[in-house]
Amino acid sequence: MTKGLTTRYNGRMNTAEEMRPRYRLGTSDVWLSPVGLGTWQFSQGQGVVGKFWPRLSPVLIMSIVEEALNHGINWFDTAEIYGGGKSEEALATALDGLGIPRDAVSIATKWWPVLRSARHLEETIQERLKRLNQRPIVLYQIHQPYSHSSIPQQMEAMARLIDAGLIRHAGVSNFSARQMQEAYRALKAHGHTLVSNQVRYHLLDRRIEQNGILSAAQDLGMSIIAYSPLAQGLLTGKFHQEDVKPQGMRRLDPRFRPPYLRRTQPLIDVLHEMAARYQVTPAQVALNWIITAPGDHILAIPGATRVSQAAENAGAMEWRLSASDREALNQVSAEVAANEP
């Protein structure tokens, strides 16, 4: 049973905002739903990373976006590398088709830095805006810490984009604690504040709790954006069923093979037990564990390839795990997460 709201979109934003939680993005003036919608799956099968997902029809993409909005999600995360801009295009097309005002939702996208220098941040920003049909980029993130340019040079370029009104806020992704701190200081020198670091974080990968990223973000007042919060669907529990076999790129992932599935079964059992008690789904329990972390500074961006998944993901925002249940999940996940492949 999914505890999703039943409010529908009827040509205007109809969201009962007072019923829905919002977390502040870093120290900015932007308030986001704890669960956003990741849109890697909108890549239309294009590019190397886009081939992970099947091609989705424009009608289906629009329905997924609409369902997310109707259930309280108010922001979307995309990236240049997702289909070479196809995900950005698909998202903008869906929002336009639904008649969503440009400032009614927030869009986060990411610049791909590999084999590029900081000047490409500015040279490619018009391409990003074109792909998004001129929708505002509320959060612009450096996707990886692998640019030819130094972090201070990249932050200087980010500052110029903010000053020019081409983006509203800057963030990073996959940065270590040291890199994140350096980026924060560099951007601060130009009068702006780094607001987020997007990293992999879920019950089976809790490395940011040990490597300094989580504590550094707390010290700096930055948000953590957790990508792959369901471990590519592993935490839904469906792949632990004998009759469900991984398809596509998942067949190459050791996490979807019998040895790892057996090792993680105790966590899946606990997720099912809690889901039954809260009358939600295992996926919602796993997402709720992320977004109810103390401090309300961790957001999650699960994807959705079906309309029902968008509603299910959003339903994770409508209740809270008890402190004792959070601790129980902490303990069992720590036991199985130590050797995450």
298-300 and 37-38 beta bridge pairing: unpaired
Catalytic residue numbers? 82
Which contacts of 122-130 are long-range, i.e. CB under 8 A and separated by 24 or more positions?
122/157, 122/160, 122/161, 124/80, 125/161, 125/166, 125/167, 127/80, 127/85, 128/80, 128/85, 128/88, 129/166
Query: What is the C-alpha separation between 250 and 96, in angstroms, rounded?
Result: 33
Span between the terminal Cα atoms of the chain, in Å: 32
pLDDT tens for each residue of the chain, 341 residues long: 333 332 333 333 444 444 689 999 999 999 999 999 999 999 886 765 655 667 899 999 999 999 999 999 999 999 999 999 999 999 999 999 999 999 999 999 999 999 999 999 999 999 999 999 999 999 999 999 999 999 999 999 999 999 999 999 999 999 999 999 999 999 999 999 999 999 999 999 999 999 999 999 999 999 999 999 999 889 998 768 766 666 666 666 777 688 888 899 999 999 999 999 999 999 999 999 999 999 999 999 999 999 999 999 999 999 999 999 999 999 999 988 765 55
Instruction: Tell me the whole-structure pTM to 2 decimals.
Output: 0.92
Q: Which domains does the chain have, with CATH numbers?
A: 20-234+283-321 (3.20.20.100)
CB contact at 8 A, 66 and 97: no
Question: What burial letters (b/e) apply to 138-151, b meaning 16+ CB within 10 Å?
Answer: bbbbbbbbebebeb
Query: What is the C-alpha separation between 142 and 161, in angstroms, rounded?
Result: 13
Number of CB atoms found within 10 A of residue 322's CB: 12
